[in-house]
Structure 1
Amino acid sequence: MMDPMDAGMRYTPKSSDKDWEQAVQFLPATDSTKLEKKKGPGKVGAIIGVVIFACVMALMTGLLVWHFHFRKDIKVKKMYSGLMNITNQEFKDAYENPNSTEFQALAKQVASQLREIYSRTPQLSRYYVDSTVQAFSQNSVIAYYLSEFHVPVSQEAAVDNTMSSINEILTKSQRRLTDPQGALLFNSVETSAVDSRMFAKSSIQRFSARTRPNTAILIESPGFPNYPYPPNTLVQWQLRADPNNVIKLDFRTFNLEGDCKNDFVKVYDSLAAIESRIMAEKCGYYSPNDPLSFISSGNVMLVTLVTNEEGDYPGFRAHATQLVKGSRDVTCGGILTGNTGTLTSPNYPKYYPPLTKCEWTIQVPSNMNVKLLFSKFMMSKGDPKCQKDYVQVNEEKLCGELPTNTVRTSKTNQMTVIFYSDASYVDRGFNAIFTAFEPTNPCPDKFLCSNTRCVSHDLRCDGWNDCGDSSDEKKCNCDSTMISCRNGLCKPMFWKCDGIDDCGDRTDEMNCASCKAGEFVCGNGKCISDKQKCDRQNDCGDNSDEADCGRATPCTESNYLCKNGQCLTKQNPECDGVKDCEDGSDEDCGDCGTRPYKTSRIVGGQDATEGEWPWQVSLHIKSSIHVCGASLISDRWLVTAAHCVQDEGSVKLSQPGSWEVYLGLHTQKQLDKAEKRYLKQVIPHPNYSEYTFDNDIALMELDQPVIFKDTIRPICLPSASYNFPAGKEVWITGWGATREGGTGATVLQKAAVRIINSTVCDELMKGQITSRMTCAGILQGGVDACQGDSGGPLSSLGTGRMFLAGVVSWGDGCARRNKPGIYTTVPKFRAWIKEKTGV
């Protein structure tokens, strides 16, 4: 029996013109005397030359004719996977066993029926080879099959188009196909081209399993967990559940290569790899705290693993269970009454099932209207008209991914909400809250946004887009602490001159270069004489006057120094994937700054996912609570703030015995899941000032090294020349606790902030900023602004790796709205860190 997955093209032509050019050779001369120099070529020589030229031209002409004409007719193997819904057969248990006589008899009929279908379609009949049935399932009987065609290259597109419309073709000619006595009757045929990446694998493995009530089936990639999955392999698991049940697939571990072009898992809502029934294609690394989970529309599912020749990755482990149709995870819709309530897509916040439709009718008191607020909305992307997956609110269809807190309202006391998913590609769905409101007073004691959202009056004209449509920031009168944009908007002063157009009309980026003629504008806004540029002195204070000076030696603070003494003028060359140093030392990075888990999209919250910030450390006073953060920079050393280790009365925080260290921690209430260490020594910077917070940095050495794993990895240390420019997005993370013992967040928090122009920041902070301090402010507003933690990292993404840009130091270190946080600038202390730690 043909196995269509066993081989790819049976003949691969040489397609490069160079192959033919290399085949043309000159014949060796048999008489050397004829090659002696003469006054002229002679009559015989001319004739021979003409003949040789003619032969060469004939050969080249023949090759060109073959290349541009006959080559088009070279045939390639095309595989199409599909299903046929047979209506005049009843399902038998024996159909689940491909070795049973019943299976083989029906499979033979299906193959015969398919041959007849293709023979009646001129575009297909001449190229058809054979079909094989892979499986049968219930709903009368559904046959899953593979059909093989050998198609000329020039006809591939035409055959693809014909196969995609085969159901419509059959609708016109169904009577002729079903008239013969004993023929199979069917009401639909669905087919699509098989993913070519599944072809020509050296190893093919197939498994079948049936779920049972209250029992989980274990599915693992080959070799898991002791060995990486094998290369160049196709593995398929056909899963079945009892009738009137659906299959739920939960991935407990998922760790594949990050590029889906190489290794990937596909989950299908069928028993064959039919692309029109694919639910998801996944690769990379997903956190166990935010696992992948899928639900089928019926009682079958196919899981497919495809790998290429390169890379060692652990693979996956999943559990498959069955759920009764109508159970909580797979149902939705109904009548909702009252003044408030919630509604979600099925299986939220995990992936909703395909081929699902639900309808809610929301009814509030007769004198009220309905407001629907989506805190999260992630529907599989479709066309602009939302003809695939969508949520319909009254007459409006919503699809794709919508901003947090999208609002829709009704004009009556009733609202209809419809959820719909088609046969392919699912997503995480939506979470919504409905509330009743008085039509004449939609926002009691609050500001009414143009999109009908309500926000506090205190948020009006504060520079932040709280409404989501900027209506709270229009028609404002800016005070002296704000940038007055020409378009009427007000923006925080610390966005001025950071290289980013925050106003939208570049008002905030005007008049930034106020230096006189003959002066150089430093990166921090300072003016110096042009003669001071490239004089090997840091006249600006931020080294910007010594950057890009076109010299390799001798090195200055603005140059990167390779281990072999070579100097680079390129900015931030380390760990960018390009070998700039001759000895490659700029790319000697190890595992620093890498995050193992694939970052999930998070809407409506700032909770970090487990493993997202594996260098984040929680510092506890021994047998007490979390008081400071820190960053892991090697298997032994941490970086934190010096103010975290200053003695407070009887509490000797400068002594290593006062501390407990938790690495790989995500939730403060689950300390037992983290790696606990004690300290060997604490080294605050000798020039730390408790009055100005200058030089606010300290080092901690663990009592024993930590072993790196998914949730514990070091962050990269930037070189002394590393530049973090104004306007660059960076991240602060922490549990939100203060040194005074305030209550902090239980789950690790994160917030996006932006580097602030140091000159502007110094003005805002009344001249308290030194050259060893970096200012950063939060990008997005929110009254729950405390997202940072003293001593914790200010993380900056380089070219694929995270670097430690700063240490949370003072000011509003929690990044409150309109208040910049102040961070210790790590590059300024790179030599000191190297001296004390060797890192």
Structure 2
Amino acid sequence: MGSVVEFHPEDRNGRHERVTFLTEKDKMSSRKRHSLLLALLVILSFLVLAGVAAFLIWYFAVRPSEVRGNPQVGPTKDISVPSDQVRVYSGQLVLDDIEYTDSLGSPKTQGFRELSKNLQDLLRDTYSKDTVLFKYYNTSVITGYSEGSVVAYHWTRFDIPSSNSEDLTKFTDSRVTGLLRRLIRQGGVRSGLSFTVRSITASLTDPRMTNTPDSCLYTLRATGSKQSFTSPGYPSPGYPNKSRCQWQIRASKGKAIQLFFPDFDVEDDCDNDFVSIYDSLSPEEKHQLTQQCGNRPPTNNLEVVSSGSVMLVSFISDSSFQHPGFSAEYIEIPRNTACDQVLTDQSGNFSSPHYPSFYPPNLDCNWTIKVPENMKIRLKFAMFRVREPNIDISDCGKDYVEIMSQKYCGERSLLAVASTDNTMVVKFHSDESFTDKGFLAVYNAYDPQNPCPGQFACNTGLCVKTTLRCDGWNDCGDMSDEMDCKCGEDQFKCDNGLCKPKYWVCDQVNDCGDGSDEKSCSCGTDQWKCESGLCIDKNKVCDGTQDCTDHSDEASCSNQGSPTVACTEFTYKCRNGVCLSKSNPECDNSPDCADGSDEQDCNCGKRPYKHNRIVGGTNADVGEWPWQVSLHFKTSGHTCGASIISERWLVSAAHCFPTSNSEYRNPGSWLTYSGLYTQLDYSSAESRKLKSITVHPNYNSFTFDNDVAVLELSDPLEFCSTVYPLCLPDATHTFPAGKSCFVTGWGALAESGSLANILQKAEVKIINDTVCDTVMSGEVTSRMLCSGYLTGGVDACQGDSGGPLVCQESSGRWFQSGIVSWGDGCARRNKPGVYSRVTQLRGWIKEQTGI
């Protein structure tokens, strides 16, 4: 046999240590050794196989609760932890020495997958250097890339079991970002990657935002033409519960993205269902532009603009309520790089960039207005919304408009400024997060020697009618029209010199500002004050007899601390017969009755459309008052108003159906329009005929007492965003003096003038019953209540006969407190309007309608 050559390993310098030639004797000895080695190898193989089998049994049987994770992203973790035990950090990595290509725009490409694997491994290895973080590490994911060198967007999830809740405090932004910034760069170098990490960000993120490229995540490319996408299930059957979808939108380098929602209908609870939009492809809060929910009217579409070439849209649903969702359109637009402007015309206007779209983040704009030297500048904001969540508007530390060293932010219905000379500089700043609609400003030059010909000149630069001077309303915005006044006979003079309407006295609201209008309103020591302002003997409180006109003396009578009391006609009665001591318990989102009856039949008084807190003006918005009805008599057009209380029933005033003409009591003479916005267009309204008209049998056409009627429709209404019922209050419901309410209708725009085409609204407040009865010469009965305007500048009534007076309770629901009856509808200035008191007529309404 030939010789056997045995090769030994190389030494540390790479040289062979030795080569040995074996003899025949050595060969025999070698064979024995090989036999022994073979036996040992068999035994060793058996042990290895046994170990593998044991591991597999443990892995699949003993350890079922643990996640069998992707080995490339780290150790497996328990995913059954509660959501509040999950921590997710998202952010971006800026990479150098690598060029962005189109292959990085799609997760389906090999280039995307390879780079993502390298970065995910790098993140995992970096987190492994922190024993606390890595103990709960679940996974790291790269969701996308964009230009700017190359920007990679990442998130990492940690699952902390409830048994280790004390470790939650160890998860902080500073700890995570500190670790990544300290180690990830050198980790990339050690790994021999072909790029370097220039910078990295990471911040705590809602775990619901953690989409992976193979889940409900879409990559879209914006161009110069409009394109669209929708929420899942839009519009029918609507989006499913537990939706987690994201849309990454990219535009060309140097461009921006404009996103528009033609239709937006998501549950009106942003804790459950919402759309979040980011000025990034990472869902970091510091890049969040806005978060929206609710049903937006067509007059207030959501429109957002990015600062750069990327945008992320995230949609979350967690409620069991199904809504249509949204449709969205996006387009590539020029990037806003400069917004400085010099305005030299004597009048004009300007606005925040892209108005009425949400302005982009990271902006600084300047408008310099210059007029002739002998002139000054008057600036008024027709619209002003520069809000950020949880920001003190007295500080304006984030987004703001600055004029003459004064910063303005928040939402304002009235903002006017006058210059001190012929130049005014308006500055606008937006930071990197949370934008808003911005502003629309109108300016004009004026002669300081005659600033307001034929009008009163406010210190703010505004001009108001001379009739608004000393009328008790702050028409100028700075009270300058109410200073140094001589009060009229129908006014109360405050201690500070201001004049206020007499019917505002003793309404439990500090109208004067110094409390003098409420100073002499206290009752005697042996008396009790009703919510209406009336004083009664203390021994009459909770005696089972109504002594206050608003029955407040019997409304909250406790039974030795018990929430239930003996039943009277003034206490709220549950369907099980038990009565409550709580005032106004119905539909307040808090079950008070043991049988839950106080929270039943509460599908009312909510606006389907979501409106801004301040809409401004006297024109109503579309769907702002969805219970308003227009009653048309024959060919006369709009004649009276009414309110929706159910699919088949309306409430109106009895005086709309006089007996002087039998045709007014004939249901066939009337046509109703629900959901109507303008009297010039009936196409979007629901038209119904009347089946019956029922007038209160005790209606007095001379005194207007019991001025109420119920109208039955021939066909039921279909409730929608512009047609919805109003809540009727329980007979025990109280509307205290001073409460702010609204009256609506197509009333006259001027005294003896024509009716309004667009639905009108006016804010009023409930007036003290005693004061109102005095002002109205004792003609007010217990079945009537009064209200007066809260704001000035209103010369005539905006309400309709038969239309509703509505008040919003803390639950957010609107209740009908009154029906426009007499006193010039909703009242002229300094004269209250008189309404039928719905609580006093509630029993009769229920008898007729069952509602």
Per the TM superposition, whether the score is higher than 0.5 is yes
Aligned residues of 1:619 and 1:627 also touching (Cα < 8 A): yes
Specify which of 598, 606, 618 is matched with residue 594 of structure 1: 606
1:562, 1:581 within 8 Å by CA — same for their partners in 2?
yes
Residue 348 to residue 786, structure 1, CA distance change in 2 (3 Å)? farther
Which amino acid is the alignment partner of residue 804 of structure 1? Answer: Q
1:405-424 matches, within 5 Å, as 405-424=414-433
Q: Equivalent residue for 1:97?
A: 106
Which residue number corresponds to residue 53 of structure 1? none
SS at the partner of 2:216? strand
1:605 to 602, 617, 624: 617
Rounded Cα–Cα distance in structure 2 between residues aligned with 1:708 and 1:115: 54
- The match for 1:33 is none
Distance (Å, rounded) in 2 between the aligned partners of 1:758 and 1:13: 55
Q: Does the alignment pair 1:834 with 2:843?
A: no
1:226 aligns to 2:233 (yes or no) = no
1:750 partnered with 2:758? no
Tell me whether 1:287 sits opposite 2:297 in the alignment. Answer: yes
Q: Tell whether 2:793 aligns with 1:777.
A: no
Q: CA deviation at 1:176?
A: 11
Residues 106 and 645 (structure 1), Cα distance of their counterparts in 2 relative to 1, 3 Å cut: same
Task: Tell me the CA shift for residue 679 of structure 1.
Answer: 0.8
**Is residue 2:309 matched to residue 1:296?**
no
- Shift of the 772–185 alpha-carbon distance from structure 1 to 2, 3 Å rule, reads same
Equivalence for 1:819: 831
Partner residue, 1:48: none
Equivalent position of 1:257 in the other structure: 267
Give the equivalent residue in structure 1 for 2:173: 160
Contact 1:249 1:295 in 2 (8 A): yes
SS at match of 2:641: strand
Give the paired residue count.
769
Shift in Å at residue 661 of structure 1? 0.5
Q: Distance in 2 between matches of 1:368 and 1:612?
A: 42
Mapping of residues 443-458 of structure 1, within 5 Å: 443-458=452-467
Equivalent position to 2:819, from 803, 807, 813: 807
Match of 1:47 in 2: none
Distance 2:456 2:221 in 1: 56
| Shift of residue 557, structure 1, vs aligned partner | 3.2
Distance in structure 2 (CA, Å) of the matches to 1:837 and 1:150: 57
When residues 407 and 165 of structure 1 are mapped into structure 2, their CA distance, relative to the original with a 3 A threshold, is farther
- Alignment of 1:718 with 2:729, yes or no, is yes
1:322 to 324, 331, 340: 331
Q: Which amino acid aligns with 1:320?
A: E
TM-score using structure 1 length: 0.82
Aligned-partner Cα distance in 2 for 1:726–1:261: 35
Q: Cα deviations across residues 40-82 of structure 1 (Å, max 9, x unaligned)?
A: xxxxxxxxxxxxxxxxxxxxxxxxxxxxxxxxxxxx7643222
Q: Is the 8 A contact 1:249 1:321 kept in 2?
A: yes
1:91-240 to structure 2, matched below 5 A, reads 91-108=100-117, 110-111=119-120, 131-148=140-157, 154=167, 156=169, 159-163=172-176, 183-184=194-195, 188-198=199-209, 204-220=215-231, 222-240=232-250
Asked if the contact 1:685/1:698 (under 8 Å) is kept, the reply is yes
**Which has the larger displacement, 426-435 or 107-116?**
107-116
1:615-651 Cα offsets, whole Å, 9 max, x none, are 11111123442221101111111111122222676x8
Compute the displacement of 1:123 (Å).
10
2:412 paired with 1:378:
no
**Equivalent residue number for residue 392 of structure 1:** 402
**SS of equivalent to 2:467:** helix
Q: Shift of the alpha carbon at 1:740? A: 11
Contact 2:364-2:430 within 8 A present in 1 as well: yes
Q: Percent identity?
A: 44
How many angstroms apart in 2 are the aligned matches of 1:4 and 1:665?
A: 59
Mapping 1:494-533, distance limit 5 Å:
494-513=503-522, 521-526=529-534, 532-533=540-541
Per-residue CA deviation, residues 511-538 of structure 1 (Å, 9 max, x unaligned), is 22456x7555555455555565555443
Residue 64 of structure 1 corresponds to none
After superposition, the Cα gap between the structure-2 partners of 1:539 and 1:268, relative to the gap in structure 1 and judged at 3 Å, is: closer
Contact 2:799 2:826 in 1 (8 A): yes
Task: Say whether residues 1:543 and 2:551 are aligned partners.
Answer: yes
Q: Secondary structure at the match of 1:238?
A: strand
User: d(CA) in 1 for partners of 2:108 and 2:224?
Assistant: 26
Distance 1:753 1:794 in 2: 9
Distance 1:609 1:755 in 2: 24
Q: State the secondary structure of the residue aligned to 2:111.
A: helix
Q: What amino acid does structure 2 have at the position aligned with 1:160?
A: D
Q: Which runs of 5+ in 2 are unaligned?
A: 1-69
Which is greater in Rg? 2
Most deviating of 299-308 and 408-417: 408-417
Secondary structure of 1:653 counterpart: helix
Amino acid at match of 2:146: S
Contact 2:98 2:194 in 1 (8 A): no
- Tell me how far 1:464 sits from its aligned partner: 1.0
8 Å CA contact retained: 2:606, 2:812? yes
Q: Name the CA distance, whole Å, in 1 between partners of 2:565 and 2:696.
A: 30
- Native 8 Å contact 1:252 1:316 kept in 2: no
Q: CA 1:216 to 1:532, structure 2 compared with 1: closer, same or farther past 3 Å?
A: same
Q: Secondary structure at the match of 1:610?
A: coil
Indicate conservation of the 8 Å contact 1:375/1:603, yes or no. Answer: no
CA RMSD in angstroms, aligned pairs only? 3.8
* Structure 1 residue 342 corresponds to structure 2 residue 349: yes
Of residues 771, 791, 810, the one that matches 1:760 is 771
TM-score (norm 2): 0.81
Equivalent position of 2:439 in the other structure: 430
Once the two structures are overlaid, the 10-residue window that deviates more, 600-609 or 477-486, is 600-609
Question: What is the SS of the residue equivalent to 2:744?
Answer: strand
Partner of 1:37: none
**C-alpha distance in 2, partners of 1:119/1:148?**
13
Change (3 A) 1:642 1:159: closer
Aligned 8 A contact 1:626 1:737 in 2: no
